[in-house]
Each structure stands twice: as structure tokens, then as C-alpha cells.
Structure 1
Amino acid sequence: MSWINRVRNALPFMAKKETTAETLWHKCPSCAEMIFIKEWEDNLSVCPRCDHHGRIGPAERFEQILDAGFILLPTPQVQEDPLKFRDSKRYPDRIKAARAATGDQDALINARGAIDDVPLVMGVQNFAYLGGSMGMGVGAAFIQGVNEAIARKCPYVIFTAAGGARMQEGILSLMQMPRSTVAIRKLHAAGLPYIVVLTDPTTGGVTASYAMLGDIQIAEPNALIGFAGQRVIESTIREKLPDGFQRAEYLLEHGMLDMVVHRSDLRDTLARVIGYLAPRAAA
């Protein structure tokens, strides 16, 4: 520790450098501007300078979208570390660290609530939890959300954010792709809407399954959406991909999305879409 830091820490009336940096300012990852943290939070974690949409977790998303009084659904219990996987760390150690960092039990959290008094079940993936990766826990939570929506006869809305399937669970993680697809068919058989909001980033097996099967596909501005990475695709086809490839606006232009919606407009947009797709519930 340098002498100036020792002096700073010894003086009670001086704020510690790390505390000031963490609690007062946020550095935008897009434009690198330093933003007063209260301004950042008041603007829904969207940069007021360049309009970059920051990544947020389930707690913030539920607060922004749902009416007050929503109820979190219990996290489904699944077998942890079924393959006894270890790379540079043991898989259980990675799970413990992710839970400590996020406060969530897994990467997908569901809540039942309402938007403008119209009931719905809403799921949110947390990219901060092991990259939002899809494992057995995420698959079980997705099915839980669908079953809850069927029981309550209301739409299921999911906010996706994932790097794909969870490698530590191997083939068991890939099995969640057909499981989630079957669950969506059950939701449709019950005549209930399934709405997807894709956030940055949504990639891999999540994109190849439930993230692209919505009745309505919405995305936040400039969200990265794709299956394989851009460099992998370029090296495979030996061509340079166009600017903005795999970004929300490019996908909207090419017919893969229905709309790109600013975070400040998401709540009103979802209320309107649910009113169109489930008029009886909205009445």
C-alpha cells in the first residue's frame, strides 16, 4: 500500500477511493463517460449520453416492469454438479460464487404479478449469474414459469440474457432446449400468449430455443442476438459480415424481430401487446 493510501485510510473524514468510485459514479461501457450513479439509476440504467442500455438483473427488471406487490416464485431444486465437472475450479465453487455475487439461486428467476392490473408471469435471466447460461436449473425455472402461467390463465413473458448452454452440465444443458420448446407448445395449447424480450446478450442455445419462439419478439436497442459468434461465422463462410450484424436493429430490418423498444417504453409496450393478445385477461 502506498503512503498516500495509508494516509487516506487513516483520516476518518476522507472518503476511501474505492468507496467513492463504487457508490458515486458509473463508467458507461459504450462511451466511457463517467455518470453520477443516481442519474444512471434514475434513467433505468441507460446512459443519458449515448443511450447505451446497461445489463440489469431480475430485481431491477421486476421493479421496472411489474406493478407493486409482485411475488417471486421459489427457485426449482435440481441436482447440482450432475457430471462432477471441474476445470480451473470446481463447478460447485462457481455456483457458490455466482450466488454470492448476485443473490440469486440460479440464472432464471420468475415472478407472478401484473402490468396495469393485467396478470402475467414474468421470467428474467441474469447474465451476471454464470453468463445467464442455460442449465438444468434454468430449464426447470422456464417450465415452472410456463406452468404457473397456465394455472393462472395469463401470458408468460421472458427477458432473455445468456451466453448459451452451461458447459459444466454437458448434454443435460442441451436437453433444456427441447424441454422448453415442449413447454411453449403447452402454453399455446392453452391459448395463452408467450412474449419474449431479448436483451444484451442473447446467444447460443437460448437463441436456438425459447428466445426465438415468442408470439411477439421484442428487443432492447443494440442488443447482441445470435447463435454462434461473429468471428466464428466469418471464419466458417470466409466472408466479412456487415456492420451491426447480430444487433437488434439489424435483426428487425431482416424480419427476425417484431420491434425494438427503448427500456423506458417497455412497460407500456408490454401492456399494449398483452391487451392485443389476451383481450379477455385485459378486460
Structure 2
Amino acid sequence: MNWISNVVPPKIRSFLRRETPENLWVKCPESGQLVFHKDLEANLFVVPGSGYHMAIGAKARLANLFDNGRYDELPTPEVPSDPLKFRDIKRYSDRLKEYRTKTGASDAITLAAGKLEGLSVTVAVQDFAFQGGTLGMAAGEAIIAGMTAALERRTPFIIFTASGGARMQEGMFALMQMPRTTVAVRRLRAAGLPYIVVLTNPTTGGVTASYAMLGDIHIAEPGAVIGFAGARVIEQTIRERLPEGFQRAEYLKSHGMVDMVAPRAELRPLLARLCKLLTHAPQTDLPEPAAA
């Protein structure tokens, strides 16, 4: 309680007190810097001072990737929502309803097709905001549907991964998505279509053990945690201290696990160049040769 609530009459109080949105300022987890939300959004959710890459929603990522922000969202297959009738402190079906309301998506994977610097591409985005981006039946079917769409359209397939692993509430049904998505990747490879993986923070568990590490090219965002088991679990198992930066994107690049680390602002032109190179399309952004 303060003097406004104690002394000032209610009608005057409403003029003195202004409601402030909860997300007006965002604190950088790395440096503690406070950033105005609109500035952070304009900078693709990368903290200007520290360069920390914060989570970005699927819609915002797709709008930034495609030409003029225009794309067609592709449908994802319907699957049984709760095959095991799982329940812990609450029913799994209720959890799904909460995440669908919160994110506006049916599950963790969003599929889209459009133009990237004039070249047709098919894209999948894994959203960590939907139950930690976990891989379940719906996500597995969506990835397979996206790869099938790329096969039909004869386009490169790009996936942005972000996941805590397989979805425990679906048990073996979730684990089976690992070999199923692996088979779909092999179909892309057999057709000679590029498969590019962009690893974002975090990409762990069964996702890392399957389609996330099967790309023709692996690009990681700066500072992304990439691995199978958590660092603490590994330390407790081997009873040794892990190296500084272990499982971070930069460490993995220096040890040959990823091909390159690219800031979010550079991903769009980089992906366009790679797709054109792998499909033998004209590199329109290359400089013209000097006249003799």
C-alpha cells in the first residue's frame, strides 16, 4: 500500500496510476542489460549490447526469413492427442490445451513454403515455447509432412530446431519419431534435395540424436546449447569437469560438430546463398565482374 491507494480518491487515482505492460522491458539473461521490448523485437530478439540470442517465435522467424515476409503456412497431419492417457499432476490433454492457447499453434512444429531471395524453399520451425519443443507424434508427423512437401515441390528443406528432446508423455510413440524422421531425411537425400539444419538454443535429447544432426549443412546460432544429455548429467557420469563452453555452438564448431556459427541477422542471406549453391541456381547477389 502507498499514499496513492491510501489518500487519493479512486477517480483521481485512476489518472495518477498508469498500467505498464509486463513485457515493456526485457532483461538479458547473460549481461543483465534491460532492453526496450520494441527495440529487441526490431533487432530480431538479439540483445544489442551482449549479442545474446533470445527465443524468437515461429511466426516472427518465418516473416523475417521469406521475401517480403510472405509465405504459405502448410497444414500438419492430425494425430491422436493423448495416446497413453497420460497424467502426472495434471492430464496431458489439459497441458496440450494450455500450450495451444498460449502459442496459437497446434503443436511444436510450424511448416511454411515461400520464396527466399526468389528461390522456392520449404521450412519447418520448432518452437520451444510449445512444451519445450519436445518431439511427439504431432511434431514427427509435421516434420515428415514438411519433407514430403519439399519432395513434391522439388525445393530445399530448411529446419530450425529447438527442443528438450522426446516428449515423455507419449513414451514409445515419441521415440519412434526418431527413426521415422531419419527415413524422411534419407528420402530427401536420395532425391538430391538440400537439407539444411539451423540449430537454435537449445537443441538437445532425441532431436539431436536424429534429424537435427543429419543435415547436409549445420548452422548454429551463437551461444546455442546443442547436445544429447545435459552437461551436469555427463559430469556426474564420467566424474570429470567438462571444458569451458562445452555443448555451446562455438565449442562444437571448433570440434567439427557444426559447420558454422551465424548471427541471426546474417541467416537469411546465408541460407539463400547455400540453397542457390546446392541447387545450382544463379547467385544473383554476387558482384558483376569488372569490365576488361
Q: What band does the TM-score fall into relative to the shorter chain?
A: over 0.9
2:47 is matched by which residue type in structure 1?
A: C
Structure exhibiting the larger radius of gyration computed from Cα positions: 2
Q: Distance in 2 between matches of 1:185 and 1:64?
A: 29
Instruction: Select 1:11's aligned residue among 11, 14, 17.
Output: 14
1:28 is matched by which residue type in structure 2?
A: C
Q: Distance in 1 between matches of 2:145 and 2:5?
A: 52
1:97 counterpart residue number = 98
1:153 is matched by which residue type in structure 2?
A: R
Question: How far apart are residue 21 of structure 1 and its match?
Answer: 3.5
Preserved contact between residue 134 and residue 167 of structure 2 (Cα < 8 Å): yes
The superposition leaves residues 234-281 of structure 1 with CA deviations (integer Å, 9 ceiling, x where unpaired) of 111111000000000000000011100000100000001111111148
Q: Percent sequence identity over matched residues?
A: 53
Preserved contact between residue 203 and residue 227 of structure 1 (Cα < 8 Å): yes
2:152 counterpart residue number = 151
1:54 counterpart residue number = 54
1:73 counterpart residue number = 74
Compared CA separation, residues 13 and 71, structure 1 to 2 (3 A): farther
3-state SS, counterpart of residue 72 of structure 1? strand
Question: How far apart are residue 84 of structure 1 and its match?
Answer: 0.3
1:40 counterpart residue number = 40
Question: How far apart are residue 6 of structure 1 and its match?
Answer: 4.7
Question: How far apart are residue 14 of structure 1 and its match?
Answer: 2.8
2:287 counterpart residue number = none
Question: How far apart are residue 5 of structure 1 and its match?
Answer: 7.7
1:246 is matched by which residue type in structure 2?
A: Q
3-state SS, counterpart of residue 26 of structure 1? strand
1:106 aligns with 2:107: yes
The superposition leaves residues 190-234 of structure 1 with CA deviations (integer Å, 9 ceiling, x where unpaired) of 110100000000000000000000000000001000000001101
Question: How far apart are residue 13 of structure 1 and its match?
Answer: 5.3
Compared CA separation, residues 273 and 11, structure 1 to 2 (3 A): same
Preserved contact between residue 274 and residue 282 of structure 1 (Cα < 8 Å): no
Q: Which deviates the most, 265-274 or 25-34?
A: 25-34
Q: Distance in 1 between matches of 2:148 and 2:196?
A: 15
Q: What does residue range 1-283 of structure 1 map to in structure 2 within 5 Å?
A: 2-3=1-2, 6=5, 10-12=13-15, 14-16=17-19, 19-22=20-23, 24-68=24-68, 69-280=70-281
Q: Distance in 1 between matches of 2:65 and 2:283?
A: 16
Compared CA separation, residues 125 and 5, structure 1 to 2 (3 A): farther
Compared CA separation, residues 5 and 122, structure 1 to 2 (3 A): farther
3-state SS, counterpart of residue 277 of structure 1? helix
The superposition leaves residues 43-76 of structure 1 with CA deviations (integer Å, 9 ceiling, x where unpaired) of 1100011000001121011011111320001132
3-state SS, counterpart of residue 11 of structure 1? helix
TM-score (norm. length: structure 2): 0.92
Q: Distance in 2 between matches of 1:58 and 1:119?
A: 19
3-state SS, counterpart of residue 223 of structure 1? coil
Question: How far apart are residue 282 of structure 1 and its match?
Answer: 7.0
Give 5+ residue unaligned stretches, structure 1.
none
2:61 is matched by which residue type in structure 1?
A: R
Preserved contact between residue 118 and residue 282 of structure 1 (Cα < 8 Å): no
Question: How far apart are residue 138 of structure 1 and its match?
Answer: 0.5
Give 5+ residue unaligned stretches, structure 2.
285-292
The superposition leaves residues 50-106 of structure 1 with CA deviations (integer Å, 9 ceiling, x where unpaired) of 000001121011011111320001132100100000011100110011111111110
Q: Distance in 2 between matches of 1:103 and 1:21?
A: 20
Preserved contact between residue 161 and residue 201 of structure 1 (Cα < 8 Å): yes
1:174 is matched by which residue type in structure 2?
A: L
TM-score (norm. length: structure 1): 0.95
3-state SS, counterpart of residue 162 of structure 2? strand
